[in-house]
């Protein structure tokens, strides 16, 4: 299979989104979004429903005209180029397979439109179907395929003409969890073997973290932050990103010097960075350690008293919810068989290294 | 006028249900011995109604064609032995075919326009196409006489603005028949095509353009094929309904444009040959049925009439 996929490999193009805005009569779907996608990169547009992901993808594809801004592909301005001349592959959540054509004809469609010679069409369609392992279903109609198979046909159809980039709008959104995870792997493999630029849209942060080279977080039509999954997870630039990606414990309060004063309890916590602003303290559950009351706490750690409320066994570890004296909850994810075993209803110390917690502005800031 | 059409379409719809290709889903248990379940029995009055107004008269007509004025086949031998009558039959199919072509050519873009229009203009277009349903056939046909005659509206206007010096022959010929019948049949072409077009997923056209199809290619290779069921339904509906026309061709056509409906009416009201009229009706029914059977060999009638999906 690797030889066939190599035959379809192409060089991806860079995509340069410059100050794109899209306004409808009473909504702003996109507000001055700029984003540089490198050639061959797997970038994910991540955001809640209605955040403008589809609008941005459709503007790149040419289906929607932006109110202002420019789109460049491989350094060329294509803002006014019609979609059929853009040479970008597109995969939709609703598959968009042509119901009156069988699988083979569907995949051959983009080649036929490009007037590829008959023998060559034959060869490339077979290759594309082999890549998605659907060669034996070539004569089936889309309606005779399962959702996962249909989406694989759509993938084959989108890569068969070696597009300069592949755009995917929540391609796995209609599939069940197991199939989704399987296709995530296949798409990831496809990306590394094709070497083409992938722009992937999802509202599922786990999917984004698992698949992407970089993630662009959108909120209400504005870009909140762009970065690698690790950057976004470990150094969110706003409370929104911190809450959207992964689980986090958040305290609101004031950042003063190297201290953070919690707004409700006035607890004085050490933090790594210095600053002076209202903000939110972000503590990831895996950095929140637990210890029996009275045990020694490492130097440089903050400590809070609490009561274990709930312990869930997750296989790889535990998820422990601790109630603080003021009623708020803190989530911790210790290893399953650590030295200390939390018991619901008993007192506990929650502690974390000052450097492990992060202070972010309480409202989203636009990434530089 | 359009009674023939209910025969093939209802029959096909009913049988479409039995022949549904979907794997047999577990059905709710039926009452012992019941042919119809509780809901199915609701159609019984309709079945009875059809039996009384449709099947019985048809049986009566069939019997009469063999018994009037005396038992035997002479009504049929008269008909099939006479080139004049066979010409009328051929003419009937020819005119119905031409009306079908005209209404499809006008109706397809019209229906497409309706899918593109906003709610207001869609409403306007819909009312415009439905107007023929709300006026009597006779009145409409006389209106066409006023429009099309040598001193009618069209010829007068054209002469006034100097486009023509002699009146165009629009009445008492094939042109008149085609204009009059096409107007009557237009809704039967537009409505099924519009219904199908509305259900076509527009996003497929967009997907096609994303894959490199020009807007024109996307229309003809993706959109148009998906409207085929509507076009087929319109074709069948218009063609079969057109076969039964007689008022319109009688008033707007010339001596060469006699259709079989007119001939039947003449036998009934003019020369009182009830048996012969019955034979003509049966002949039309049988030939139409054969034609549909022929079409059914090549296309899936069930699918195109919206039965199986
Ligand atoms: N054709 C349209 N007319 C008006 N508003 C629209 C249109 N398309 C999208 N929007 C609005 O733009 C915003 C972004 O939509 P979309 O890009 O589809 O979001 P997402 O794909 O992230 O869920 C939403 O608030 C949506 O209601
Ligand atoms: Mg969307």
Which is the closest atom of ligand 1 to the Cα of A53? 22
The structural domains of chain A, ordered by start, are 2-234 (3.40.50.300), 248-366 (2.40.50.140)
Q: Which residues pair with A332 in a beta bridge?
A: A320
pLDDT tens figures, A105-130: 999 999 999 999 999 999 999 999 99
Higher pLDDT, B240 or B10: B240
Three-class SS of residue A364?
Answer: coil
Q: What angle do CA A172, A177, A183 make, to 5 degrees?
A: 45
Q: pLDDT category, B212, cuts 50, 70, 90?
A: very high
* pLDDT over threshold 50, residue B25: no
Mean pLDDT of chain A: 92
Predicted pLDDT at B19: 36
Q: What's the token pair of residue B133? A: 């349903």
* Spatial distance between the Cα atoms of A198 and A78, rounded to a whole number of angstroms: 18
Element (H, E) at B155: helix B153-160
Predicted pLDDT at A125: 97
- Please tell me the distance between residue A141's alpha carbon and the centre of ligand 1 in angstroms: 32
Average pLDDT over residues B261-275: 90
* Rounded percentage of chain A residues whose pLDDT exceeds 90: 77
What is the Cβ-side half-sphere exposure of residue A50, based on CA atoms within 13 angstroms? Answer: 3
Residue B233: closest CA among B274, B178, B188: B188
* Spatial distance between the Cα atoms of B135 and B141, rounded to a whole number of angstroms: 10
Angle between helices B56-67 and B274-298 (to 10 degrees): 120
* pLDDT over threshold 60, residue A295: yes
pLDDT tens figures, A274-284: 888 888 999 99
Predicted pLDDT at A142: 96
Best mutation site among B201, B202, B211 for testing chain A: the one with the most A CBs within 10 Å? B211
Q: Which residues of B are less than 8 Å from A109 in CB distance? A: 208, 211, 213, 221
Q: pLDDT category, A263, cuts 50, 70, 90?
A: confident
Contacts with A260 (C-beta within 8 Å, 6 or more apart), sequence order: A251, A253, A254, A268, A269, A270, A271, A279, A281, A357, A359
Top mutation candidate among A27, A59, A66, A93 for ligand 1, by most atoms within 8 Å of CB: A27
Q: How many CB atoms lie within 10 A of CB A20?
A: 25
Average pLDDT over residues A309-336: 90
Q: What's the token pair of residue B156? A: 């007068």
Q: pLDDT category, A362, cuts 50, 70, 90?
A: confident
* pLDDT over threshold 50, residue B258: yes
Q: Which residues pair with A278 in a beta bridge?
A: A254
Mean pLDDT of chain B: 85
CB A91 within 8 A of CB A167: yes
Average pLDDT over residues B78-97: 93
Residue B194: closest CA among B219, B225, B238, B230: B230
Higher pLDDT, B121 or A335: B121
Residue nearest to atom 20 of ligand 1 (CA): A50
Q: What angle do CA B279, B280, B285 make, to 5 degrees?
A: 95
* pLDDT over threshold 90, residue B38: no
Q: Which residues pair with A90 in a beta bridge?
A: A167
- Please tell me the distance between residue A169's alpha carbon and the centre of ligand 2 in angstroms: 7
* Spatial distance between the Cα atoms of B136 and B182, rounded to a whole number of angstroms: 15
Contacts with A347 (C-beta within 8 Å, 6 or more apart), sequence order: A293, A305, A306, A307, A308
Nearest ligand by distance to the CA of A65:
1
* pLDDT over threshold 70, residue B24: no
Average pLDDT over residues B52-73: 92
Q: pLDDT category, B303, cuts 50, 70, 90?
A: low
Higher pLDDT, B298 or A40: A40
Element (H, E) at A252: strand A249-262
Residue nearest to atom 3 of ligand 1 (CA): A24
- Beta strand A347-353 with A28-37 is unpaired
Per CATH, the architecture of B61-304 is what?
A: Orthogonal Bundle (1.10)
Average pLDDT over residues A144-155: 95
CB A45 within 8 A of CB A58: no
* pLDDT over threshold 70, residue B10: no
pLDDT tens figures, B220-242: 999 999 999 899 999 999 999 99
Task: Give the DSSP letter of residue B118.
Answer: -
* Rounded percentage of chain B residues whose pLDDT exceeds 70: 85
Question: Is the pTM here over 0.90, yes or no?
Answer: no
Of the given ranges (A145-149, A274-278, B23-27, B44-48), which has the lowest mean pLDDT? B23-27
| Direct distance between the N- and C-terminal alpha carbons of chain B, in angstroms, rounded to an integer | 30
* pLDDT over threshold 50, residue B5: no
Predicted pLDDT at A186: 92
Cross-sheet strand order for the sheet of A214-219: A88-91, A165-169, A197-202, A42-46, A214-219, A222-227
CB A217 within 8 A of CB A201: no
Predicted pLDDT at B190: 96
- Please tell me the distance between residue B239's alpha carbon and the centre of ligand 2 in angstroms: 45
Binary contact (B212, A84; C-beta < 8 A): yes
Q: pLDDT category, B132, cuts 50, 70, 90?
A: confident
- What is the DSSP annotation of A335-357? BTT-S----TTSEEEEEEEGGG-
The CA-atom distances, in angstroms, between A191 and each of A8, A183, B278 are: 11, 12, 73
Residue with tokens 């109706």: B107
Of the given ranges (A216-220, B67-71, B100-104, B107-111), which has the lowest mean pLDDT? B67-71
Q: What share of chain B is helix, strand, coil (3-state, %, to 5)?
A: 75, 0, 25
């Amino acid at each position: 299979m690797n030889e066939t996929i190599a035959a379809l490999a192409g060089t991806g193009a860079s995509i340069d989104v410059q100050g794109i805005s899209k306004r409808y009569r009473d909504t702003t779907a996109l507000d001055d979004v700029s984003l540089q996608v490198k050639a061959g990169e797997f970038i994910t547009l991540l955001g809640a429903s209605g955040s403008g992901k589809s609008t941005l993808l459709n503007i790149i594809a040419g289906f929607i005209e932006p109110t202002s801004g420019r789109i460049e592909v491989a350094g060329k301005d294509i803002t006014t180029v019609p979609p059929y001349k853009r040479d970008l592959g597109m995969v939709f959540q609703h598959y968009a397979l042509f119901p009156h054509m069988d699988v083979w004809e569907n995949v051959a469609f983009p080649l036929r439109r490009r007037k590829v010679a008959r023998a060559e069409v034959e060869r490339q369609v077979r290759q594309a179907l082999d890549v998605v392992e659907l060669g034996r279903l070539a004569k089936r109609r889309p309606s005779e395929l399962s959702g996962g198979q249909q989406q694989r046909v759509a993938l084959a159809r989108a890569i068969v003409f070696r597009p300069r980039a592949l755009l995917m709008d929540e391609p796995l959104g209609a599939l069940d969890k197991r199939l989704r995870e399987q296709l995530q792997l296949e798409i990831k493999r496809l990306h590394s073997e094709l070497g083409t630029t992938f722009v992937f849209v999802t509202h599922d942060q786990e999917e984004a973290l698992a698949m992407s080279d970089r993630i662009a977080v959108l909120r209400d039509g504005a870009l909140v932050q762009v970065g690698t999954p690790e950057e976004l997870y470990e150094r969110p630039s706003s409370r929104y990103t911190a809450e959207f990606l992964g689980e986090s414990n958040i305290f609101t309060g004031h950042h003063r010097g190297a201290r953070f004063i919690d707004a409700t309890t006035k607890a004085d916590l050490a933090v790594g960075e210095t600053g002076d602003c209202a903000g939110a303290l972000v503590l990831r559950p895996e950095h929140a350690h637990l210890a029996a009351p009275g045990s020694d706490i490492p130097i440089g750690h903050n400590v809070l008293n609490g009561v274990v409320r709930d312990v869930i066994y997750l296989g790889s570890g535990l998820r422990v919810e601790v109630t603080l004296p003021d009623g708020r909850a803190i989530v911790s994810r210790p290893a399953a068989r650590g030295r200390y075993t939390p018991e619901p209803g008993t007192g506990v110390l929650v502690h974390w290294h000052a450097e492990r917690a992060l202070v972010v502005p309480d409202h989203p800031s636009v990434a530089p | 006028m359009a009674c023939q059409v209910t025969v093939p379409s209802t029959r096909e719809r009913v049988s479409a249900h039995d022949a549904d290709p979907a794997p047999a889903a577990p059905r709710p248990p039926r009452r012992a011995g019941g042919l119809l379940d509780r809901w199915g029995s609701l159609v019984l009055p309709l079945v009875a109604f059809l039996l009384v107004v449709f099947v019985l008269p048809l049986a009566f007509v069939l019997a009469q064609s063999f018994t009037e004025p005396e038992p035997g086949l002479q009504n049929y031998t008269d008909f099939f032995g006479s080139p004049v009558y066979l010409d009328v039959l051929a003419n009937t199919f020819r005119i119905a075919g031409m009306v079908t072509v005209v209404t499809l050519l006008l109706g397809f873009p019209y229906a497409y326009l309706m899918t593109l229009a906003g709610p207001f203009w869609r409403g306007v277009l819909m009312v415009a196409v439905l107007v023929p349903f709300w006026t009597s056939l006779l009145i409409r046909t006389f209106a066409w006489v006023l429009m099309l005659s040598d001193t009618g509206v069209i010829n007068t206007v054209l002469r006034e603005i100097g486009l023509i010096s002699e009146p165009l022959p629009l009445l008492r010929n094939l042109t008149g028949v085609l204009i009059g019948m096409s107007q009557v049949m237009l809704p039967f072409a537009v409505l099924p095509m519009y219904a199908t077009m509305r259900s076509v997923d527009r996003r497929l056209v967009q997907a096609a353009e994303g894959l490199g199809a020009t807007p024109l290619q996307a229309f003809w290779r993706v959109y148009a094929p998906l409207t085929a069921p509507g076009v087929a339904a319109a074709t069948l509906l218009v063609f079969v309904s057109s076969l039964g026309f007689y008022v319109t061709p009688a008033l707007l056509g010339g001596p060469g444009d006699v259709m079989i409906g007119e001939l039947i009416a003449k036998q009934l009201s003019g020369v009182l040959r009830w048996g012969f009229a019955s034979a003509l009706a049966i002949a039309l029914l049988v030939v139409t049925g054969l034609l549909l059977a022929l079409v059914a060999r090549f296309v899936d009638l069930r699918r195109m009439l919206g039965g199986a999906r």
